[in-house]
Structure 1
Amino acid sequence: MTETSPASTPASTLAELAQLAGVSVATVSRALAGNPVIAKATRSRIEVLAREHGFQLNQAARNLRLKRTGAIAVVLPLGHEAEQHLSDPFFMSLLAPLADAIADRGHDLLLSRVIPRDDRWLDAIVDAGRADGVIVIGQSNQSAAIERVAARYRPMIVWGADGQSQAQITVGTDNVAGGRMAAEHLLNQGRTRLAFVGNIEVPEFAARYAGFEQALHHAGTSAATLLPVHLTGDASYSAIEDYLAGHPSPDGIVAASDVIAMSALRALAGHGKRVPQDVGVIGYDDVLISMYTTPSLTTIRQDVARGAKTMVDLLFQRMEGQEVASVVMEPELILRNSA
């Protein structure tokens, strides 16, 4: 009689693999799912056995049994900026570390760019049951819709401005401090005719403008312009170009984003204005391309890598039923050549 080797009788079920490993079915299931509760040596032994027997955990069946999808929805609502795309430098800088952090948790990323047609767009996403949790990138002009859903749906984290007495849990930079920091830098250079360029319908931009105004008030000046431009490069360039064609140029610009600041550099050059000699320009975000503009862009840095990891950490804590609080990160002034 010939003895049959374990490899010649492949395990086709969790129970068979558990019997071979000498552990419970639950232990095998947790080990193959990478659960850190199972000792590393035990996980490794079970994983080796699974490979030898060509066994793969049916993740779809497991998720169905546990009422999970194995996916996290990342949603970008563009209520005020229908022309903005995923190729926007800020989105790209945030999505990469966000995707890595979600993958590290063993989940897939389900990405949606949403142009809201009514105030139920977020309800449709959370009620579809396609994801275990939701991360919303930016509040746009959709704060009311986000807040209403946040009051009833816990596994959701929002990148955006922190507000008082709100249901939504947010991660973001202290935008008021960032706007104030940018204006103070220009004022300290002796610039007296400042402009804030950005659409303050966006809560984050409104907070940056509030900080900008605080700096002017503290300096005892009100000589400032608010130019509410759209976020895309072409739209912001056209608006700044039109303004410069019909008004005296400011001597200092605080832009609500780096994309807007880059449009300002282009428009100013077209009008023969030297940066920073005639006009100092400060952006916001510190996207990668900002150091390669001409001149290189002085900007307010948001630590998006830290923010991405924090959002994922908070989301998974909420998914586990834990209580969490919003996180506000400190901005940093990055000095380059434009101001």
Structure 2
Amino acid sequence: MADGDDTPGNRDTRVMVRTITDLARLAGVSAGTVSRALSGNSLVNPRTREKIVGLAREHGFRPNQMASGLRRQKTGVIGVVIPLGHDTRQQISDSFFMTLLGHLADELTREGYDLMLRRVVPEQDADWLDRFIGSGMIDGVIVIGQSDQFERIEEVAEGYRPLVVWGNRQEGQRHCVVGTDNRLGGRLAAERLVAAGARQIAFLGDTGPIEFAARFAGAQDVATRMGLPPVLALRTHLSPDRASEEIARHLAAQGPALDGIFAATDTLAALCLTELRALGMAVPDDVTLLGFDDLPIARQTVPPLTTVRQDIAAGARGLVDLLLRRLGGEATESLVLPPELVVRETA
């Protein structure tokens, strides 16, 4: 047999093509381009489309094979995945995750579905979403948090309809999102801190993840509008084994000039309360403090925590409702929930 023979019996089987990402890597293009090419999108260059279709045929990869498999056979299971790209040591036992997961389990059970949960670290598994979708074990996917995986989610959403994400909506995005208006929430937080007397506000958290970046931007909007110093970004991880130490360092470095703290989450705010107490700083007399989420812990701290409320129960209902509608073939818009300021005693 001559070299280069491409008959089935002599095909090079060392390259396994199970997902769109595998095919994209082989073709030297993005997963989004592969998705568009296989769906016949005219925006893809004809030569590129021919190359991709040829590779798909050669390796036995059928266009939309994952989605069509799900349509043929229902599993009665919805996949829920938490990507931890920005903080790989964060735990699912985080109060926010547990609260949202509890509401999701209730809603899915009410609709007759079981829930399959995955925690993934994208740097260890670049194909985390394709692999989950292509497993054949689920009918649709809910992603909790965009983390630093916005582009990955966008690429998959273009070729896979039953996908809904808890996160922050951005103009022009393709994936369907349910979440709070985080920028407005950030404005509400900063306005309350200023009204309570704060002049130098710090944001406690990581401004990289999309939701947190929007909260920080909202607080900065207020500082700029009121002619106050820029909001300080005090980068803090969400994993409890690191957060307390980082908060203590931030507080020691900033000193008494810092008179208002906006924590990205209630959990960080509660940890901050402990560290402030250890430094002998009184809340709200020496420094005002405000969280985000309105988790049960916000009512249990001493003093009780002023916070920005996300309606997590309504969010869970929205995630399930939109996913089921998308499973039925309906095109859906994102759902943006209004935040609510909850005033207690820390600000």
1:194–1:225 Cα contact (<8 Å) kept = yes
Q: Secondary structure at the match of 2:255?
A: coil
Whether 2:177 is the aligned partner of 1:170: answer yes
Q: Does 1:308 align with 2:308?
A: no
Residues in 2 aligned to 1:331 and 1:229: alpha-carbon distance in whole angstroms: 23
Partner of 1:193: 200
Larger gyration radius, structure 1 or structure 2: 1
**1:64: Cα distance to partner?**
9.4
Task: Please tell me whether residue 80 in structure 1 is matched to residue 86 in structure 2.
Answer: yes
Partner of 1:209: 216
* Aligned counterparts of 1:284 and 1:175: Cα–Cα separation in 2: 10
Q: Which amino acid aligns with 2:223?
A: L
- Select the residue among 297, 302, 308 that pairs with 1:289: 297
The answer for the alignment partner of 1:113 in structure 2 is 119
Give 1:39's aligned residue.
Answer: none
Among all aligned residue pairs of Structure 1 and Structure 2, give the percentage whose two residues are the same amino acid.
Answer: 46
Deviations 1:216-267 (A, max 9, x none): 0110112431101111233221111012223324110001001111111111
Query: Equivalent residue for 2:161?
Result: 154
Deviations 1:142-166 (A, max 9, x none): 1111111111111000000001111
Distance between the aligned counterparts of 1:124 and 1:163, measured in 2? 26
> What TM-score, normalized by structure 2, do the two folds share?
0.77
Kindly state the Cα deviation for residue 118 of structure 1 after the two structures are TM-superposed: 4.0
| CA deviation vs aligned residue, 1:158-180 (integer Å, no higher than 9, x gap) | 00000111111000000000001
Q: 2:139 aligns with which of 132, 151, 167?
A: 132
Letter in 2 for 1:185: R
For 2:341 and 2:261, locate their aligned partners in 1 and report how far apart those are by CA, in whole Å: 15
Report the secondary structure of 2:160's partner residue: coil
Q: Which one is further off, 268-277 or 243-252?
A: 243-252
Counterpart secondary structure, 1:76? strand
Residue pair 2:70, 2:139 contacting (<8 A) in 1 also = no
Structure 1 residue 90 displacement after superposition: 0.3
Q: Within 1, Cα distance between the matches of 2:71 and 2:332?
A: 27
User: For structure 1, which runs of at least 5 residues remain unmatched after alignment?
Assistant: 1-62
User: How far is 1:77 from its partner?
Assistant: 0.7
3-state secondary structure, aligned to 1:113: strand
| Deviating more after overlay: 300-309 vs 185-194 | 185-194
Deviations 1:261-306 (A, max 9, x none): 1111111111110001111100000111110011111110000000
Inter-CA distance 278–322: structure 2 relative to 1 (3 Å threshold): same
| 8 Å Cα contact 1:232/1:260 also seen in 2 | no
Q: Which amino acid aligns with 1:110?
A: M
- State the Cα RMSD in Å: 1.5
The whole-number CA distance in structure 2 between the counterparts of 1:84 and 1:65 is 34
Whether the 8 Å contact between 1:233 and 1:259 is mirrored in structure 2 is no
Per-residue CA distance 1:114-158 (angstroms, 9 max, x = gap): 111243211111111210000000011111111111111110000
Structure 2 stretches of 5 or more lacking a match?
1-68
CA distance in 1, matches of 2:174, 2:111: 25
Contact 1:232 / 1:259 at 8 angstroms: preserved in 2? no
- Deviations 1:294-336, CA, capped at 9 Å, x for gaps: 1111110000000001100000000000011001000001111
Task: Give the Cα–Cα distance (whole angstroms) in 1 for the partners of residues 80 and 291 of structure 2.
Answer: 26
The number of residues matched between the two structures is 277
Counterpart residue identity of residue 222, structure 2: A
- Residue in 1 that maps onto 2:277: 269
Mapping for residues 1-339 of structure 1, pairs under 5 Å: 66-116=72-122, 117-249=124-256, 250-339=258-347
Of 111-120 and 162-171, the range deviating more from structure 2: 111-120
Alpha-carbon distance in 2 for matches of 1:189, 1:310:
34
Equivalent residues of 2:265, 2:293 under 8 A apart = yes
Q: 2: distance between equivalents of 1:234 and 1:302?
A: 25
| Aligned 8 A contact 2:196 2:288 in 1 | no
